[in-house]
Structure 1
Amino acid sequence: MIYTAHYTSPLGNMLLAADDTGLTGAWFECQKYFAAGLADNCTETNTPILSEAKRWLDIYFSGKQPDFTPPLHPSGTAFQQEVWLILLQIPYGQTTTYGDIAAHLAKRKNLARMSAQAVGGAVGHNKISVIIPCHRVVGKSGSLTGYAGGINKKIRLLELEKTDMHKFFSPKKI
């Protein structure tokens, strides 16, 4: 059974989803891949897991670093799961690049190289926005690219974490 709840954040409304194991989704309304993979027969109710996720988000959006992670249960390929675990290791207020994650995975798998674009695809399909911090991944040149919730939300999340923003820029639309 999948349970859902709504959360009102300072950046817009969010839909949260969980099963009996953990949080399966946290999407900003209207974001790319909104509610991807979410079954039609969900039950809207407040479960302990959804309450924990809301408590985490309350702390986070108050400008503080939460000292816990709610139970997580994202579905995805083995590669996506590996990337999402790396995202969870990016410290609050810091960033990394798609290339750095690719290099880390290549080293771990004893490969000569790994595609930063493949990493970008996995990051972009993260179903648990904010809590699995895909907003902390930037382009090698400092481009604030690749956030399914939109670049403006990515900027606001990084600013909320008091990330040093002087080296970053928003990509120009072509």
Structure 2
Amino acid sequence: MTDPLPHAAGDRRHTTLGSPVGDLTLVSDGAHLVGLYMTDQRHRPEETTFGPPADDVTPFAAAREQLAEYFAGERTAFDLPLAPAGSEFQRRVWAALLTIPYGHTWSYGELATRIGNPRASRAVGLANGRNPIGIVVPCHRVVGSGGSLTGYGGGLERKRLLLDLERAALAGA
């Protein structure tokens, strides 16, 4: 099986942009988006790993445009070159997150089943929490088994805001 999300490589640069969920830090290796972090996010790496600031690095322009469209309720899927760094298992989980339909949620157990390991819901939860490209790789769409909002590195208030934004955009479509 081909790895749908390549490993991060190259020199890192970062930029920051405002959003309805607060400032977002985008990190690029020059060719791929390798990180999207919220302020006060759990598992946020040290800023020294982001590289120097650079607003003109590819794919920042596309990411800025697509995130603006997403927050305006006009974009339901991202089309950006991604390369999150993680273990093979984490990358499998993150690739599966990309298949959760916009405005919908899956439980950790359902996500574990989708990657072919139905007994790995705890490991899936840990991998989900380590997702380095939040929003674009929609870890906010994973909920508890009863549909409850549980565990989100950006905080449950942000998770609720993102899910509400998507549901409202679908309702208005």
Q: TM-score range by the shorter chain?
A: 0.7 to 0.9
Number of residues of Structure 1 aligned to a counterpart in Structure 2: 158
Among residues 56, 77, 82, which one is paired with 2:87 in the alignment?
77
Residue in structure 2 matched with residue 171 of structure 1 by the alignment: none
Q: In structure 2, how many angstroms separate the alpha carbons of the residues matched to 1:30 and 1:61?
A: 20
SS in 2 for 1:162: helix
TM-score, L = length of structure 2: 0.85
Q: In structure 2, how many angstroms separate the alpha carbons of the residues matched to 1:29 and 1:78?
A: 27
Q: In structure 2, how many angstroms separate the alpha carbons of the residues matched to 1:25 and 1:136?
A: 18
Asked if residue 23 in structure 1 is aligned to residue 28 in structure 2, the reply is no
Asked if residue 159 in structure 1 is aligned to residue 159 in structure 2, the reply is no
Alpha carbons 1:65, 1:92 under 8 Å: kept:
no
SS in 1 for 2:59: helix
Give the deviation of 1:40 after TM superposition: 4.0
Residue in structure 1 matched with residue 52 of structure 2 by the alignment: 43
Give the deviation of 1:130 after TM superposition: 0.3
CA offset digits 1:36-65 (Å, max 9, x no partner): 276547121121201111111100011122
Give the deviation of 1:2 after TM superposition: 0.3
Q: Specify whether residues 40 and 103 from structure 1 end up closer, same or farther in structure 2 by C-alpha distance, changes over 3 A only.
A: closer
Q: In structure 2, how many angstroms separate the alpha carbons of the residues matched to 1:140 and 1:92?
A: 19
Residue in structure 1 matched with residue 73 of structure 2 by the alignment: 63
- Give the RMSD, CA atoms, in angstroms: 1.9
Opposite residue 151 of structure 1, the aligned amino acid is L
Alpha carbons 2:77, 2:102 under 8 Å: kept:
no
Asked if residue 124 in structure 1 is aligned to residue 129 in structure 2, the reply is yes
Opposite residue 117 of structure 1, the aligned amino acid is R
Q: For 1:86-105, what aligned pairs fall within 5 Å after superposition?
A: 86-105=96-115
Structure 1 residue ranges without an equivalent (≥5): 164-174
Query: Sequence identity, in percent?
Result: 38
Q: In structure 1, how many angstroms separate the alpha carbons of the residues matched to 2:140 and 2:79?
A: 17
Opposite residue 41 of structure 2, the aligned amino acid is Q
SS in 2 for 1:44: coil
Q: In structure 1, how many angstroms separate the alpha carbons of the residues matched to 2:138 and 2:49?
A: 26
Structure 2 residue ranges without an equivalent (≥5): 1-10, 169-173
Alpha carbons 2:36, 2:134 under 8 Å: kept:
yes
TM-score, L = length of structure 1: 0.84
Q: In structure 1, how many angstroms separate the alpha carbons of the residues matched to 2:76 and 2:64?
A: 11
Residue in structure 2 matched with residue 6 of structure 1 by the alignment: 16
